[in-house]
Amino acid sequence: MSTSTADAVVPYDEVIAEFDPVLGLEVHVELGTNTKMFCGCPTEFGAEPNTQVCPVCLGLPGSMPAVNATAVESAIRIGLALNCKIATWCRFARKNYFYPDMPKNFQTSQYDEPICYDGYLDVDVETDEGMKTFRVGIERAHMEEDTGKTSHQGGATGRIHGADYSLVDYNRAGIPLIEIVTKTIEGTGKYAPEVARAYVTALREILRGLGVSDVKMEQGSLRCDANVSLRPSPDAKLGTRTETKNVNSLRSIERAVRYEMTRQAAVLRAGGTIIQETRHWHEDTGITTSGREKSDAEDYRYFPEPDLVPIAPDPAWVEKLRSELPENPAVYQARLQAAWGISDFDMMAVVRSGALDLVAETVALGADQAAARKWWVGELTRIANDRAVELTELPITPADVARVEALVGEGALNDKLARQVIEGVLAGEGSPDEVVAARGLAVVSDDGPLLEAIDAALAESPDVAEKIRSGKVAAAGAIVGAVMKATRGQADAGRVRELLLERLGVSE
Amino acid sequence: MSETPSITREDVAHLAKLARIDLPPESLDHYAEQLAVILGAVAQVSEVAADDVPATSHPLPLVNVFREDVVRGSLTAEEALSGAPSVESDRFRVPRILDEA
Ligand SMILES: [Zn+2]
């Protein structure tokens, strides 16, 4: 049964001292194909309910599925990018279950014949000893279809327990999904949460690079389930695992794994046993709660899909797809890092914020790499977090940022004004040049108005003026601040300081 | 090799549960017998099929039947929902489901 009360947890350091964590990650990726896996319905996100459905994806009698060629190609490309072997012959299978999210009473999936299998992905994690590479084995990547969306009505929690009835929208039912399953991930020790996050981050970059999915976690086009178990030591047999669902951001993956480790440790330490179950992650409270126990009811009676013929990818086709794969993101990153001459740590910050392509484009448009990183990894990432959107969804482009930086380079804007221009662009006031014009933002470079403002500020604070004259140059900050305020930040603070000291006949 | 496969009452109860069929306990033996006969009949295939006959799931020797990724017309919501026993907010309204989530 569900419970909303928090379970006991053990401090993370103690978990690590007493237990060895083992992970398994399942990632579902919605492909960005035009149509569904087995029918010609469109796959647009956010359409009116039940308007992207047809007899096939509604499971109406007599309808027959037909496999989307592009989805198969995407599956193979994903497998190749993950260093997988590609099956020479494989089939779809029916996964039978009774739940109204699939109107057919089964989901068409793959069972013991996945199209891609036995690959790996190397991921880098910052450790106490510097950057370390962990190899995450890929068990399989198989094709299946997404389910419809059910919303539970009535009841207090919106969850299924206590719901009076459910409403179902089948627009999502049948959208091509690739499920990518890792082998058990061992040997991470205390870095298990970071490895989990780094894996999904790297996977997302690869998928983005392949152009097979929009990989938007907040819209559910990339979803991660985290299997976590603990054992007393690396040579002990595997402990019972739990599967945490609904982990919808990179940060949550790290947090959810960490939380599950601390919760399981508390159960084990108290002499209890871990129940093999599904657990739900709660983003707001940062805990997991018990969902459904895995039981023998979970017997899906898989059998080969009789309405679809097998898939036997022609080796020549596979080799052609392999030769056309984009540059591996890890290689691409290494190349950019060398070009920019930045540290592993700084590069990691760019990658983790999902800003790599944006920074690269901004630099390509002429901006300095440090400035491009400052905007995208600092200011803009913070704003994106505040708005709970992806960086790429902010209404600002690398061209805008590059233009702002060009204006800074020309001396037309200072840091403070540049910030205001960025703010204006984000507020939909137009291009950087339009914002500058509309807001009347420009550095006051004429000394006349500055000297006037300086004289006014000195007259305002004669005591400060006296201090500076007597050699306490540190006091100049107060006058410079007053001048900057008077000119609404449009002055160059360095120049104001120069003029001020000159005026008072003091040297630094 | 051709023994009549045995099906227990428990097997039948399990299958009934998976198929969401409410079988009264007194009928379990009855169905166990019938299912055993059916399995026995199907098992004869393995006597006829030699090692050189692979298990097959499709009668036609076809592979790679694909559809181009081109949008075709969908139904309207009205059409899609026209056969639904219950509808609310353009969605299919279904009973709440116990024991599954
Ligand atoms: Zn359809």
Specify the pTM: 0.76
Distance of CA A41 from the midpoint of ligand 1 (Å):
4
The string of pLDDT tens digits covering residues A469-478 is 888 888 888 8
Q: What is the pLDDT of residues A343-359, one digit of tens each?
A: 988 998 998 888 998 99
Tell me how far the alpha carbon of residue A22 lies from the centroid of ligand 1, in angstroms: 40
Q: What is each CA distance from A70 to A67, A74, B68, in whole angstroms?
A: 9, 6, 7
Minimal CA separation from B1 to chain A, in Å: 24
Quick one: pLDDT at residue A453? 87
Q: What is the token pair recorded at A454?
A: 């300086």
Q: Reduced to 3 DSSP states, what percent helix, strand and coil does chain A have, rounded to the nearest 5?
A: 40, 20, 40
Whether A302 contacts A94, CB under 8 Å? yes
CA distance A199 to A205: 10
pLDDT tens digit sequence for A33-64: 999 999 999 999 889 999 999 999 999 999 99
Residue range A168-191: mean pLDDT, rounded: 97
Q: Which residues of B touch A152 (CB under 8 A)?
A: 96
Would you tell me which residues 64-93 of chain A have a C-beta closer than 8 angstroms to some C-beta of chain B? 66-72, 89, 91
| A362-385 per-position pLDDT tens digit | 999 999 999 999 999 999 999 998
pLDDT at A5 over 70: no
pLDDT digits (tens, 9 = 90+) for B28-87: 999 999 999 999 888 888 788 878 887 778 888 899 999 999 999 899 999 999 999 999
- Cβ atoms of residues A73 and B69 within 8 Å: no
Q: What is the DSSP letter of A127?
A: E
Query: CATH fold of B1-49, please?
Result: Histone, subunit A (1.10.20)
The verdict on A317 touching B (C-beta cutoff 8 Å) is no
3-class secondary-structure state, position A240: coil
Distance A333 CA to ligand 1 centre (A): 40
A271 alpha carbon – ligand 1 mean position (Å): 51
Q: Which residues, at least 6 apart from A309, have a Cβ–Cβ distance to it below 8 Å?
A: B58, B60, B62, B63, B64, B65
Please list every residue in chain B whose beta carbon sits closer than 8 Å to the beta carbon of residue A41.
Answer: 71-72, 74
A105 C-alpha vs ligand 1 centroid, how far in Å?
A: 16
Which residue in chain A is spatially nearest to B94 when comparing CA positions?
Answer: A166
Q: For residue B4, name the pLDDT band (cuts at 50, 70, 90).
A: low
List chain A residues with CB under 8 Å of B74. 41-42, 51-54
Tokens representing residue B83 in the block? 């056969």
Identify the CA nearest to A229 among candidates A240, A221, A219.
A240
Cβ of B71 and A35 within 8 Å? yes
- CA closest to B18 among chain A residues: A297
Contacts of A420 (CB under 8 A, 6+ apart): A435, A439, A441, A489
Residue type, A67: V
Residue reference for tokens 């559910």: A220
Task: Provide mean pLDDT across the span A113-118.
Answer: 98
Interface check for B20 against chain A (CB to CB < 8 A): the answer is yes
Residue B67 with chain A: CB contacts under 8 Å: 35, 40, 66-69
With helix as H, strand as E and coil as C, how does A65-104 read? CCEEHHHHHHHHHHHHHCCCEECCCECCEEEECCCCCCCC
How many whole angstroms separate alpha carbon A174 and alpha carbon A50? Answer: 12
Non-local CB neighbours of A161 within 8 Å, separated by 6+ positions: A1, A2, A155, B101
Q: Give pLDDT, residue A405.
A: 93
The token duo for A359 is: 């920074």
Domain ranges of chain B: 1-49
In this structure, are residues A327 and A113 in contact, taking their beta carbons and an 8 Å threshold?
no
- Our CA-based measurement puts residue B2 at a distance from the nearest CA of chain A, in whole angstroms, of 23
d(CA B63, CA B69): 18
Q: Which residue has the tokens 């995450």?
A: A136
Q: What is the pLDDT of residue A295?
A: 55
d(CA A436, CA A424): 9
**Closest by Cβ to A167, choosing from B58, B70, B91:** B91
Asked if the model's pLDDT at residue A3 lies above 70, the reply is no
- Quote the CA–CA distance of A377 and A362 in Å, as a whole number: 12
DSSP for A318-336, written as a single string: HHHHHHTPPPPHHHHHHHH
| CA A354/CA A205 separation, integer angstroms | 8
Quickly count: other Cβ atoms within 10 Å of residue A393's Cβ: 11
Domain boundaries of chain A, sorted by first residue: 12-321, 340-439, 447-503
CA distances from A122 to A83, A195, A247, B53 (A): 10, 10, 22, 42
pLDDT mean over A199-228: 93
Q: What is the pLDDT of residue A122?
A: 94
- Using an 8 Å CB-CB cutoff, list chain B residues near A98: 20, 100
Asked if residue A1 has pLDDT above 50, the reply is: no
State in words which class domain A447-503 has: mainly alpha
Instruction: Give the pLDDT confidence score for residue A489 in this predicted structure.
Output: 78
C-alpha closest to that of A402 among A427, A443, A378, A369: A369
Q: How far is A307 from chain B (nearest CA, A)?
A: 8
* DSSP H/E element including A157: none
d(CA A26, CA A226): 7
Interface predicted TM-score (ipTM) of this complex, two decimals? 0.87
Q: Which two tokens stand for residue A100?
A: 């109204």
Place of tokens 């006349």: A448
Mean model confidence pLDDT for chain A? 91
Q: Which of A225-234, A406-415, A444-453, B13-22 has the highest mean pLDDT?
A: A225-234
Q: Which of B15, B48, B7, B86 is nearest to A100 (CA)?
A: B86
Tell me what the mean pLDDT of segment A11-23 comes to: 97
Q: How far is the CA of A52 from the centre of ligand 1 (A)?
A: 7
Distance from CA of B64 to the nearest CA of A (A): 5
pLDDT at A467: 86
Whether B67 has its CB under 8 Å from any CB of chain A: the answer is: yes
Q: How confident is the model at residue A155 (pLDDT cuts 50, 70, 90)?
A: low
Between A and B, how many residue pairs show a Cβ–Cβ distance under 8 A? 145
Contact status, residue B72 vs residue A35, Cβ threshold 8 Å: yes
Cβ distance A479 to A500 under 8 Å? yes
**CA–CA gap between residue A364 and residue A345 (Å, rounded):** 22
What is the structure's pLDDT at A158? 53
